[in-house]
Amino acid sequence: MPSLLELQEAFGRALEGPPEALSAGLAVYRDCIAANYRGALRASFPVARELVGEVFFDAAADAFVAAFPPQSGDLNDFGGRFGDFLAQYAPLATLGYVADVARLEWAMDEALRAADAAAAPHEVLASLAHLDAERVARSRVLLHPSCRLLRSRYPVLQVWKMHQPGYSGGDRVDLDGAHGDRLLVRREGGRASIERLGEGEHEWLCALADGAPFALAVDRAVWAAPGFDLGEALRVRVSDGTLAGIAPAAG
């Protein structure tokens, strides 16, 4: 008698077969699964769907599922690679900004589901104040778990805003001549907040997110933007909760 695992594997292979080889019951079951995956992606990427149209989006979603089958029963986790997939999806070769819009939408999705910070802003400030300069330089400053950092050659924030309810600005965006975006996405007041950053601050936060010691992160920021104002960046990012903890200094 086949084991449960063998029966599950056989069932999975049957679902992956050509439509004409499926029984009526299996065909209905597979269609329901595909609809669930499409629905999850539609919910996570509404602006990307509007940009390309529902028929095209569903075709891309089906291709994504075929290339990267879900590894978890929790569809909230499904879609993390969708932006990267769209960047390589041949039918979108001339619409590169769509992939970055999808990456922005996934960053917002993750920000809303992320854990809370362990320390409040005043506690982070107190922790920094108690360290001498050498220990601060070697310490790792932790970002709030909801923080996500994105860089795009396109003005993707403006594209995203144009597809929000109640938008009243212009209806055109320069995708070729405009400067790209460096964005910080985080959760604030139960909602996803998106903010454009300067080159230096973005590089600084990216370095911290990568686990770089504080001094190295500052060096990277100054290299990217010699006018980077560390004092102002610290003031803003401690007070708004972006900087959410101090890891012990190495060594």
Per-residue pLDDT tens digits for 167-213: 887 778 888 766 799 999 999 999 999 999 999 999 999 999 999 99
Per-residue b or e along 214-251, where b marks 16 or more CB atoms closer than 10 Å to that residue's CB: bebbbebbeebbeebeeeebbeebbeebbbbbbeebee
Say if residues 221 and 201 touch (Cβ distance below 8 Å).
yes
Tell me, what's the pLDDT at 135?
Answer: 87
How many whole angstroms separate alpha carbon 82 and alpha carbon 172? 26
Indicate the SS3 state at residue 95. Answer: coil
Indicate the SS3 state at residue 219. Answer: helix
- Could you tell me how many residues make up the chain? 251
Tell me, what's the pLDDT at 29?
Answer: 41
Say if residues 187 and 114 touch (Cβ distance below 8 Å).
yes
Tell me, what's the pLDDT at 33?
Answer: 66
User: How many CB atoms sit inside 10 A of residue 139's CB?
Assistant: 19
Tell me, what's the pLDDT at 15?
Answer: 44
* Number of helical H runs and strand E runs in the chain: 12, 5
Give phi and psi for 183, each to the nearest 5.
-120, 145
Tell me, what's the pLDDT at 171?
Answer: 77
Place of tokens 């699964």: 33
Tell me, what's the pLDDT at 148?
Answer: 98
How many whole angstroms separate alpha carbon 86 and alpha carbon 100? 9
| Angle subtended at Cα 104 by Cα 88 and Cα 89, rounded to the nearest 5 degrees | 15
Residue ranges for the chain with pLDDT beneath 70: 1-34, 71-75, 177-178, 248-251
Strand ranges inside the chain, DSSP E:
140-143, 148-152, 181-188, 191-196, 243-247
Task: Give the Å distances, CA to CA, from 214 to 94, 120, 129, 218, 222.
Answer: 40, 19, 14, 6, 12
This prediction has a pTM of 0.85
How many whole angstroms separate alpha carbon 71 and alpha carbon 240? 35
Indicate the SS3 state at residue 190. Answer: coil
- The half-sphere exposure of 41 on its side-chain side, counting CA atoms within 13 A, is 32
How many whole angstroms separate alpha carbon 23 and alpha carbon 138? 63
User: Which amino acid is present at 157?
Assistant: L
